[in-house]
């Protein structure tokens, strides 16, 4: 990209980290501006307004220019961030700036609260430490150290710079070692946490995959079960229908068979009883029944024959009808049993692969699904054998 102006409002791809006596990390340009403002306020708070103005001139303003300037060549973010870090570090060292969060900066803030008059001298001392020293400057430093030693002696303090320096360096080394140890422990904890998170994510992915596989497997099984259930239900309905139909026809055949037998027996007994009654009639009977049914010669009157023959014809027709219904139910019972057996046999063959060929199915299916008859002989009409006999006798 030719310039970095887009990052004036957007977050950086990677944080910019610097160490200028204290560590700072910036995730966007606003954080850099905020840091510059705090550094200027630090110098203002210790009475060094001039240094704050210099800070704005040599760091704050150039940083803004670097983000807004157009470049003739492409530059990556890594190269640009490296350029910014080198610029800030070199400017801090060249100008002798003291970071507000450094141990020196914090010391200056405390000193400003207790004895602000000596803050400029302390600041100058810290600035001179960062600059290369010449021979005359080294002599000045030695003279200053001697004056400081005399000051301590005058206040009943025996200075031992080398020993104090050694103690301080040992203490500082211990702090650094502890810091490095803590950082290493934090890094190990972070790596362990990342490893645990990775394992958890892998486990989560595996569980989700296993769940999806189990869900798909159970879904397929449910669909197969539903299909099988519907198929079995259809088969069961067909077989149940013909089984129930056979059961009904069996009941009907028994009922109509018994009814036909009872009617025939009743008719036969009635004829015998009627014959005995007729034989026992007498013209001189007190109730006058003999005169109504018999002629003077003792024979039955014509209308009695007519009533008897008509009743007998009706009874015989009813008996024939009952017998035909009985035989029809026997026929339908046999047909239902046959269909039930054929359907169950066909389905048993159908479950076995490659048992039935297309020709076998074409032969079997029409027999199973043929139209069912009612089993009744349809040539029947009102019975007339006896009437034909009577008509024939009258004609003769």
Instruction: Note down pLDDT in tens along the chain; length 396 residues.
Output: 456 778 888 888 889 999 988 899 999 999 999 999 999 999 999 998 999 999 999 999 999 888 887 766 677 888 888 999 999 999 998 888 999 999 989 999 998 998 888 888 888 888 877 776 666 767 777 777 776 677 667 777 665 666 666 777 777 778 887 877 888 888 888 888 988 988 899 989 899 888 888 888 888 888 877 776 565 566 567 778 878 888 888 898 899 889 989 988 998 898 888 777 777 666 566 655 666 666 666 666 778 778 878 888 898 898 888 888 888 888 888 888 888 787 777 777 766 655 667 776 677 667 666 666 655 555 544 455 555 554 555 544
Does 267 map to a domain? yes
pLDDT of residue 312: 85
Residues 108 and 16 grouped into a single domain: yes
Helix axes 103-114, 119-129, angle to 10 degrees: 160
**Would you call 17 helix, strand, or coil by DSSP?**
strand
- Answer whether residue 183 is part of any domain: no
Cα–Cα distance list, 125 to 96, 112, 161, 391 (Å): 10, 15, 16, 160
Residue 175 lies in a domain: no
Report residue 38 as tokens. Answer: 């705090």
Is residue 296 one of the residues assigned to a domain? Answer: yes
231 and 312 together in one domain: yes
Q: Are residues 229 and 370 in the same domain?
A: yes
Would you state the pLDDT for residue 306?
85
Residue 315 near residue 263, CB atoms below 8 Å: yes
Tell me how crowded residue 5 is: count the other CB atoms within 10 A of its CB: 14
Is 19 a member of any domain? yes
Instruction: Retrieve residue 168's tokens.
Output: 């301080």
Using only C-alpha atoms, what is the Rg of the chain? Answer: 63
| Calpha distance 306→287 (Å, rounded) | 23
Q: Are residues 106 and 247 in the same domain?
A: no
Query: How many domains is the chain built from?
Result: 2
Token couple for 99: 């970071």
Residues 115 and 223 in one domain: no
Same domain? For 24 and 141 the reply is yes
d(CA 17, CA 40): 19
Instruction: State the pLDDT at residue 207.
Output: 92
Residue 206, domain member (yes or no): no
Q: Are residues 226 and 120 in the same domain?
A: no
Q: What stretch of H or E contains 27?
A: strand 23-28
Is the pTM here over 0.75, yes or no? Answer: no
Residue 132 has what pLDDT?
67
Look at residue 1 in the predicted model and tell me its pLDDT.
Answer: 44
Residue 342 included in any domain: yes
Domain coverage including residue 296: 219-395
371 and 250 belong to one structural domain? yes
Last residue of a domain, which of 132, 157, 182? Answer: 157
Are the C-beta atoms of 263 and 319 separated by less than 8 Å? yes
**Would you say residue 367 lies in a domain?**
yes
H/E element, 107: helix 103-114
Task: Note whether 370 and 328 are within 8 A (CB).
Answer: no
Decide: helix, strand or coil at residue 15.
strand
The residue among 157, 175, 210 that closes a domain is 157
Q: CB 273: neighbour CB atoms within 10 A?
A: 10
State whether 224 and 362 are in the same domain: yes
Residues 233 and 100 in one domain: no
Of 157, 179, 209, which residue is a domain's last?
Answer: 157
Cα–Cα distance, 75 to 79 (Å, whole number): 6
Question: Do 236 and 107 share a structural domain?
Answer: no
Assess whether 303 and 391 both reside in one domain: yes
């Amino acid at each position: 990209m030719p310039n970095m102006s887009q990052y004036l409002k957007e977050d950086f791809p990677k944080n910019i980290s610097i160490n200028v006596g204290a560590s700072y990390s910036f995730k966007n340009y606003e954080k850099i501006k905020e840091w510059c403002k705090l550094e200027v306020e630090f110098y203002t708070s210790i009475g060094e307004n001039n240094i704050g103005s210099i800070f704005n001139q040599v760091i704050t303003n150039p940083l803004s220019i670097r983000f807004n300037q157009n470049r003739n060549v492409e530059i990556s973010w890594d190269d640009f961030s490296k350029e910014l870090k080198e610029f800030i570090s070199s400017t801090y060292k060249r100008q002798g700036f003291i970071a507000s969060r450094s141990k020196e900066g914090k010391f200056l803030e405390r000193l400003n609260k207790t004895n602000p008059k000596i803050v400029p001298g302390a600041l100058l001392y810290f600035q001179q430490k960062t600059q290369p020293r010449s021979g005359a400057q080294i002599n000045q430093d030695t003279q200053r150290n001697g004056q400081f030693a005399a000051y301590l002696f005058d206040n009943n303090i025996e200075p031992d710079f080398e020993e104090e320096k050694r103690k301080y360096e040992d203490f500082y080394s211990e702090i650094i070692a502890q810091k490095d140890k803590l950082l290493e422990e934090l890094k190990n904890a972070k790596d362990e946490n990342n490893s645990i998170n990775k394992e958890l994510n892998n486990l989560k992915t595996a569980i989700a995959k296993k769940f999806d596989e189990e869900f798909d497997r159970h879904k397929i099984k449910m669909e197969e079960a539903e299909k099988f259930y519907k198929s079995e239900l259809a088969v069961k309905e067909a077989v149940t229908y013909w089984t129930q139909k056979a059961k009904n026809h069996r009941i009907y055949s028994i009922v109509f068979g018994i009814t036909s037998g009872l009617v025939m027996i009743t008719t036969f007994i009635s004829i015998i009883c009627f014959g005995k009654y007729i034989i026992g009639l007498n013209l001189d009977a007190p109730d006058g029944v003999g005169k109504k049914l018999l002629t003077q010669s003792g024979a039955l009157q014509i209308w009695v024959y007519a009533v008897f023959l008509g009743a007998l014809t009706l009874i015989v027709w009813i008996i024939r009808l009952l017998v035909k219904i009985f035989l029809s139910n026997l026929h339908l019972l046999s047909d239902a049993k046959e269909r039930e057996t054929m359907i169950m046999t066909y389905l048993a063959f159908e479950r076995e692969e490659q048992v039935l060929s297309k020709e076998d199915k074409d032969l079997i299916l029409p027999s199973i699904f043929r139209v069912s008859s009612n089993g009744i002989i349809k040539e029947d009409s009102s019975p007339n054998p006896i009437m034909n006999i009577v008509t024939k006798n009258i004609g003769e």
